[in-house]
Amino acid sequence: NARWDQRYKITMEAVQEIFTLGLNSVAIKIKDGVNRDKEIQRYKDCFMDSDTLNCPDIIIGEFNQYLSQTNIIVGQISSALFEASCAKVPYIVYEPYENGVMDYSLKESILINRSSIARNVHELGTMLRKQDTSVIVEHEDLTSGLPLSELRL
């Protein structure tokens, strides 16, 4: 998003909140790519340098390969939100204002709205305790429609 310089701080705050709530199996998914190894090392360094006792697992690979092993996902607004919703895995959107996404940007979405996402660590904790999902659309409405092979464009 707009504030790449904040991603480590934001991720660390989210992970610390998750551990505080007693959820012990936590992973950070890193995108594959040219800087993957540097990114992994930066996260490892951040957690080793912090005063937190718990460090998350750092995983790589295709997002969909982890869905069946996952109880709940915390992440930003991305295509992962749709993928997780189709797989019926609860997805909590954690989109602090530091990321650069403004509330007015959410008004056009049919999947989420301002009241269904976490904008700070307190809201994230509340949603995690309730095991809420940010998706406001019924699963059937996400996946119904013509098969792609039948679409005429």
**53-100 confidence digits (pLDDT tens):** 688 999 999 999 999 999 999 999 999 999 999 999 999 999 999 888
CB atoms within 10 A of CB 14: 23
| Termini Cα distance of the chain | 32
**28-62 confidence digits (pLDDT tens):** 999 888 889 999 999 998 888 776 668 899 999 99
Output the pTM of the full model.
Answer: 0.87
Reported as type and span, the H/E element at residue 84 is helix 79-86
Specify the DSSP class assigned to residue 6.
Answer: G
